[in-house]
Structure 1
Amino acid sequence: MVCNQNLKNAIIAILVPLPSIIFYLTFLNNYHSSISIPNNPSFFSTLWTWCYHHPLLFANALFFFNVNIIFWLIGQIQSSHWLIDPYWTVIPVMLVHYYATHPLAQYDLWRSKIVILLTWVWSIRLTHNYFRREKWQWGAREDWRFTQMSQQYGKLWWWVSFFAVYVSQQIFLIGLSLPLYVVHFVNKPLSILDLVAIVVCLSGIVIAYFADTQLHDFMSRNNQLKGLGKPVIPVLDTGLWYYSRRPNYFGETLWWWGLVVFAWNLGHGWTFIGALVNTFCLAYVARLVEDRMLKQESRAEAFKLYQKTTSAWIPWFKSFPSDVKNKNA
């Protein structure tokens, strides 16, 4: 039964982006005639012309119809909004290739190749972490925050979920991916700031990878201890987690800010708004996670001490308040 459901969800996940892919390929094959023959009154000619002249709005339209509506309908049928989680790591890859292949795109080829490669590396890392965390299953569960919200809204959740789960994700992902758009619609030579952007992006990917790996190993070790009937380790405070309470979130934000540096270099620093909003959202999520930790009696005391001594976000050296020093004296 579990295997059948896993296979079913895998097939759904593979097939679900096809409407957008097929529609975009159809546009690429037909826009030439619409552009070359002005004042063509046909519906499709008007549609292809609009898609040609409005690449960013076109991306939003594809997202709205394929993700917001189709993903939401699947979520209603399955009573689980799991599908958006793995696609959080896939949609930026789809967007960067969409921007690179749009007929109006103009860009420095090397910058484009670098950004596309970095986006693939980021996506593979995060996708691997998602499936590792989910024990290599498709749709075994939805994000705990969605489950919590469904309990909060009750019978209203069926329509609230459309906005809370999907429309919000469109705002986040399109906003975060704006630097990918800028990179492919502004053509300037490479400069030293591009090197800075590469370093920041790679640093974010590497930090997030090691932080998530250390967290996975910690949770696996605790599960083994539970199975043996032994007490678990209450707090992860080794490796990168010794210097930060959320090094995985720090690495993730560093990645998105690195993309902002690419756009800043091209004269579009305003794209920082997506990374800024995402940083605030991750900080809020980190607080929710810590609140859950403090509600667990077996971990609360150790975690309070961890909070007092460890940086909340940016990795830094331990700070020991006077009361903690006196206890250790």
Structure 2
Amino acid sequence: MVTQSLVALLAALAVMGVTAAVSRRVDRVAVVDVAWGSVFVAIALVLAVVWPDPHSWLLAVLVTFWGGRLAWHIAKRSKGHGEDPRYEAMLGGPGWHAGAAKVLLRVFLTQAVVAWVISFPLHVAAAYDVRWWPVVWIGVAVFAIGVFFEVVGDAQLSAYRSRPRDQRPPVLDTGLWAWTRHPNYFGDACVWWGLWVAGALSLGWVPGLATIFAPVAMTYFIRNVTGAKLLEKTMSQRPGWDEYAARVPLFFPRPPRG
């Protein structure tokens, strides 16, 4: 498995290296968000090409669908926008003007390493044979639930934003957004729990438990650090938010309440 992990690390560094060059050229650090999904696609495809078997290729197809859609969605959403205030706050200045070393270390290298760590279920899947194929399909089902929440949640949010401001409520509280305040982030967590089940747990208890840190870390970060909690700092300023937050859970869905 050591060799598979080293190859995955090289793939992650290569994608983020190219992204850093593009970012420097356009003077916008936030382009790294577009590359986030692409890093996982590169890791999965490289592992499947170097260590080809039906299991690795199945995981590569799943990751490519998820990562490709995510990259396209973020690129479309961020088109025409300037630097993301999150990165200005993180770097203490406007993008690359804060210093190339700081940007490379705090943004691009950090995200490459984080993606590499989260992709560990893919590393072990390339190194070992499947023990329980039914578990693979359970993982695929969990992955599909996650993709459903992401795709439908993003579509409902886009439809909401396309309406004139004076013709839409201040807070989106219908569809999946009546079940959870962050269906897209919940879906993202399900995607990686599904990939862990299909990729690592299907190999046996030892590979599964040895890599459970990957979906746990992803869930923690998108819920508490870079995702839901961070977004709520600005969303909570909207009229009607307190009432919405009181009846709709932050992350894990539940049926709507009156």
- Counterpart of 1:307 in structure 2 is 245
Query: 2: distance between equivalents of 1:173 and 1:68?
Result: 10
2:193 maps to 1:264: no
Structure 1, residues 208-241: CA drift from partner, whole Å, max 9, x if none? Answer: 10011111111111xxx24xxx365210000000
- Counterpart of 2:4 in structure 1 is 55
The answer as to whether partners of 1:80 and 1:141 remain within 8 angstroms in 2 is: yes
Deviation at 1:79, TM superposition (A): 2.4
Gaps of 5+ in 2: none
Distance 1:74 1:203, change over 3 A: same
The one-letter code of the counterpart of 1:217 is A
Query: 2: distance between equivalents of 1:215 and 1:144?
Result: 21
The answer as to whether partners of 1:241 and 1:247 remain within 8 angstroms in 2 is: yes
Q: Work out the percentage of aligned pairs sharing the same amino acid.
A: 26
2:27 maps to 1:79: yes
Greater Rg by CA: 1
Q: Secondary structure at the match of 1:188?
A: coil
Structure 1, residues 126-146: CA drift from partner, whole Å, max 9, x if none? Answer: 233223323xx4x75444421
Deviation at 1:157, TM superposition (A): 4.9
Query: 2: distance between equivalents of 1:245 and 1:169?
Result: 26
2:217 aligns with one of 277, 285, 290: 277
Deviation at 1:125, TM superposition (A): 2.6
2:104 aligns with one of 143, 153, 162: 162
The answer as to whether partners of 2:181 and 2:251 remain within 8 angstroms in 1 is: yes
The answer as to whether partners of 2:142 and 2:191 remain within 8 angstroms in 1 is: yes
Measured on the aligned residues, the alpha-carbon RMSD in Å equals 2.5
Query: 2: distance between equivalents of 1:94 and 1:305?
Result: 43
Query: 2: distance between equivalents of 1:147 and 1:220?
Result: 28
Write out aligned runs for 1:233-248 (5 A).
Answer: 233-248=169-184
Q: Secondary structure at the match of 2:29?
A: coil
Query: 1: distance between equivalents of 2:11 and 2:247?
Result: 46
Query: 1: distance between equivalents of 2:150 and 2:178?
Result: 14
Q: Secondary structure at the match of 1:234?
A: coil
The answer as to whether partners of 2:23 and 2:32 remain within 8 angstroms in 1 is: no
Q: Secondary structure at the match of 1:83?
A: helix
- Counterpart of 1:126 in structure 2 is 70
- Counterpart of 1:23 in structure 2 is none
Determine which structure has greater relative contact order: mean sequence separation of CA pairs < 8 Å that are 6+ residues apart, divided by chain length: 2
Query: 2: distance between equivalents of 1:70 and 1:132?
Result: 20
The one-letter code of the counterpart of 2:124 is V
The one-letter code of the counterpart of 1:250 is F
TM-score when scaled to structure 1? Answer: 0.68
Structure 1, residues 263-316: CA drift from partner, whole Å, max 9, x if none? Answer: 012131222212211211111221121111223xxx24x001111111111110
1:90 aligns with one of 19, 25, 38: 38
The answer as to whether partners of 2:147 and 2:188 remain within 8 angstroms in 1 is: yes
- Counterpart of 1:252 in structure 2 is 188
Distance 1:89 1:69, change over 3 A: closer
- Counterpart of 1:113 in structure 2 is 57
